[in-house]
Structure 1
Amino acid sequence: MMRFALLLFDPEGYAESVTEAGMTAALAEHEAFARHLRERGVPFTGEALHPTARTLRPGPPGEPPVAADGPFVPLRHELAGFYLVECADLDEAEELARHCPIGAGIEIRPIWDAPGP
């Protein structure tokens, strides 16, 4: 089995503009997705990310990284949350992601299990 990160993106400014009813509906969609994963026996975890962040970017050569309070690394969409799922391959991860609320998009990334020391 492999692990995959389903990175969830929202349109820029979504967190500031979503209504209470919209948020309630979005949470219900994620509850339905979690239920789908449990019913299929897929090991998973997931978290929503707060819309604020601190970003580290490379400093000048030989200098430490430079910290900046938001925005995130510049994107047209905001990383809003993620699920970590365990499945056989990328095709199965995509099939699972097709049941997830899509927002502005979902990026499916294999988790690299780096060899230990």
Structure 2
Amino acid sequence: MRFALLLFDTEGYWEAVSPQEMEAALAEHAAFAEYLRAKGVTFSGEALHPSKEARSLRPSKDGVVAADGPFVALREELAGFYLVDCAGVEEAEELARRCPLGAGIEIRPVWEVP
């Protein structure tokens, strides 16, 4: 079963960190990736650009409308994610507890299309 570990950070956080803080954060994620490899967990992950660079598509009476920014205004933004293959939500939570936390992590099952 696959789970997305959705990583959230305070809006604007990554634009404000020093190069040393950025280097330390990247080292934490490298250590987490090594932890997953050592456990034999199949995974992938990516960091995302800030939500201010996002574009959303929304339905309207005139059809699909594009809008800059995230779908909803949040104090936190989705900063990145890992996709992990686990036995169940308990294992996904166990893995997420080892992941660098930021403002929070949402553990969400991935819809498996038959």
- Do both share a fold (TM > 0.5)? yes
Check if 1:12 corresponds to 2:15: no
Post-superposition shift, 1:71?
A: 4.2
Post-superposition shift, 1:74?
A: 1.7
Amino acid in the other structure paired with 2:60: G
Post-superposition shift, 1:90?
A: 0.3
Rate the CA distance shift 1:50–1:94 in 2: closer, same or farther, 3 A.
Answer: same
**Residue number in structure 1 paired with 2:55:** 54
Structure 2: runs of 5 or more not aligned: none
Distance in 2 (CA, whole Å) between partners of 1:36 and 1:89 is: 18
Distance in 2 (CA, whole Å) between partners of 1:23 and 1:74 is: 25
SS at match of 2:60: coil
Post-superposition shift, 1:55?
A: 1.3
Amino acid in the other structure paired with 1:36: Y
CA RMSD in angstroms comes to 1.1
TM-score, structure 1 length as denominator?
Answer: 0.90
Distance in 2 (CA, whole Å) between partners of 1:66 and 1:15 is: 29
Structure 1: runs of 5 or more not aligned: none
Rate the CA distance shift 1:41–1:9 in 2: closer, same or farther, 3 A.
Answer: same
How many equivalent pairs are there? Answer: 112
TM-score, structure 2 length as denominator?
Answer: 0.92
Post-superposition shift, 1:58?
A: 2.3
The C-alpha deviation readout for 1:61-91, integer Å capped at 9, x for no partner, is xx22221122453222010000000000000
Amino acid in the other structure paired with 1:113: E
Deviation >6 Å, runs of 4+: none
